[in-house]
Structure 1
Amino acid sequence: MNGVAGRAWAWTRVGVLALLWGSTFLWIELALNALSPVQVTLSRCVLGTATLLVACLGSGRRLPRGRAVWGHLVVAAFFCNALPFAMFSIGQQTVDSGVAGVLNATTPLWSLLIGVVIGSERGLRPVRLGGLLLGFAGVVLIFAPWQTTGPVGWGALAIVAAAASYAVGFAYMGRNLVGRGIPTISVSAAQLIAATGLTSLTLPAGGLAPMQIDPKTALAVVLLGVVATGITFHLTYRIIAAEGATNAATVGYLLPVVSVALGAVVLDEPFSLRIAAGMVIVLVGVALTRRPKQTLSPSASADTPQALSAPRA
């Protein structure tokens, strides 16, 4: 695949993932009308696991084997699934779905900082760093923390913690699970199995409460588990494998556009010119962070999957 086609395909995958991932916050908001945070988290893990297991069966793939691999899967499942899923469900009890998506957009900044610390981001270009900082400035503009009213407190902190946890999970997956010869559908299914097991341990903390689910809530739970968890998580793994953990986390910068739009249209959440301006700044920042590196040798082009793939330990 040539450079232009490769970039177009990469943007297409990022766009689809942003649309699916950005809708997650809407489905969580609707699911919380009838389910506790633990129940929402466990439901999406179970349905996501079932979706990917069916995909594995249909494609003739097997789950990975080996104690070492499953050890890595458990760690990745904690940071990339169980912990952030729970934090979002807890945080969205007091934070609007649109704002949740905005706060989640800090993931690329955390991912970049982690990449610098662990050495996976060598020779960071000023234009890329500037794009990340510009995108974060757009997030700040949308959130407007200087205002005296709005969603603040433990709910917002829980969502920021989820965003940071995603960044840790992406980096860990890129170093220990990607590029090991295991099909992405197999490793993503196995990781959600591990996440389901970890989340099951939290059932005593509100997971056993009675539920009264209406058709609207049931549909939200199914979409959250099948589409926004199972399919989205598999696409995330594919992007990490093709383009690296930091580029995968850049999808988070597109989430405010989707989450704020859905929150405003479906849930009648607030929308203003300030939010619109912030989203434009975010998109400009994304464009800068994904600008290909100019090299003298075509073989060293940053557009190739080899150049963009996550580092291997």
Structure 2
Amino acid sequence: MQLGALRTLFAALFLFLIGFKSLKTIQASDWKWIAVSAFAGSFIPAFLFAFAETEIDSGIASILNSTTPLVTLILGVLIFSVRFNKNQFIGVIVGLVGCLALILEGASINPDQNYWYALLVLCASCCYAVNVNIIKRYMQHISPMAIANGNFIILVIPALIVLGFSDFFKTEIITDPKIHTSLMYVSVLAVVGTGIAKVLFNKLVQMSTPVFASSVTYTIPIVALLWGVMDNERFSFYQVLASGVIVFGVYLANRNK
């Protein structure tokens, strides 16, 4: 709970410092979509991932997050009337096959993990899929910086409430060196993985299609698995092959872009 709340607050502080003035460009009628985007694209997933990774490796979590393009495509067609072409469909399926291969191989070499927690990551992927479709459908006219700042000005109060109920302010923040180290890493996660990434992703969605933008999540497992190796997570040669399938799926989905 503390990780999700602190990540939100640190990201908010960073975004306010670099782009608070952009809030003036948001019209009153846009705030309802900004709010939905805030909770679906940032707030809820931050907590889902924090809980999930108490039981599963970061590599497995990132692999499961790669279901986002498929969910984006399904929701886009069923709810948001988004059109897709044959290459996008084939690319999504190929990428999904690569993800399934990674999941199966990860389960075989890490049998001690609680894979029920994987459902939390899948829920986060659904949230991301809703967010990307909303940005494309309803927020094309808003700058990426304004969307990001609007998201987090809405989330500051909820994050503070969660942090207050988590007993964070009762901990020995000043004297405990472990907390100092943790806060440093949370700040890196918030600034790079949330603040900067949020602005860039919003721009990508506006420049392209929802499936194209969300397909970047297919490359996340590769990066996460490499970091996992550095953190002594178990990794196999078959996961390398499956990662190659994922990259090929991204190429198929976006080769006309």
Normalising by structure 1, we get a TM-score of 0.74
| RMSD of aligned alpha carbons | 2.1
Aligned to 1:271: 235
Q: Structure 2: where are the runs of 5+ without partners?
A: none
Aligned to 2:60: 99
Could you tell me how far apart the structure 2 residues matched to 1:72 and 1:49 are?
18
Residue 95 of structure 1 aligns to a residue in which SS? Answer: coil
Judging changes above 3 Å, is the alpha-carbon distance between structure 1 residues 207 and 214 closer, same or farther for their aligned structure 2 residues? closer
Aligned to 1:168: 130
Could you tell me how far apart the structure 2 residues matched to 1:89 and 1:288 are?
32
Could you tell me how far apart the structure 2 residues matched to 1:230 and 1:83 are?
16
Judging changes above 3 Å, is the alpha-carbon distance between structure 1 residues 119 and 44 closer, same or farther for their aligned structure 2 residues? closer
Could you tell me how far apart the structure 2 residues matched to 1:174 and 1:116 are?
13
Cα deviation for residue 141 of structure 1 reads 0.7
- Percent identical among aligned pairs is 24
Contact 2:73-2:210 at 8 Å conserved across structures: no
Q: Structure 1: where are the runs of 5+ without partners?
A: 1-37, 293-302, 304-313
Instruction: String of CA shifts for 1:175-224, please: whole Å, max 9, x gaps.
Output: 122x22x3221221111222333333434653546264445323211111
Matching residue's letter, 1:271: F
Matched, 1:130 2:90: yes
Count of residues paired in the alignment? 250
Normalising by structure 2, we get a TM-score of 0.89
Contact 1:63-1:187 at 8 Å conserved across structures: no
Aligned to 2:40: 79
Of 158, 165, 181, the residue aligned with 2:120 is 158
Aligned to 1:285: 249
Judging changes above 3 Å, is the alpha-carbon distance between structure 1 residues 63 and 101 closer, same or farther for their aligned structure 2 residues? farther
Cα deviation for residue 66 of structure 1 reads 4.0
Instruction: String of CA shifts for 1:211-238, please: whole Å, max 9, x gaps.
Output: 6444532321111111111001111111
Contact 1:78-1:198 at 8 Å conserved across structures: no
Q: How does 1:218-297 map to 2 (within 5 A)?
A: 218-265=183-230, 267-292=231-256
Judging changes above 3 Å, is the alpha-carbon distance between structure 1 residues 65 and 119 closer, same or farther for their aligned structure 2 residues? closer
Contact 1:64-1:187 at 8 Å conserved across structures: no
Cα deviation for residue 62 of structure 1 reads 4.0
Instruction: String of CA shifts for 1:250-291, please: whole Å, max 9, x gaps.
Output: 1110011001110111x1101101111110000000000102
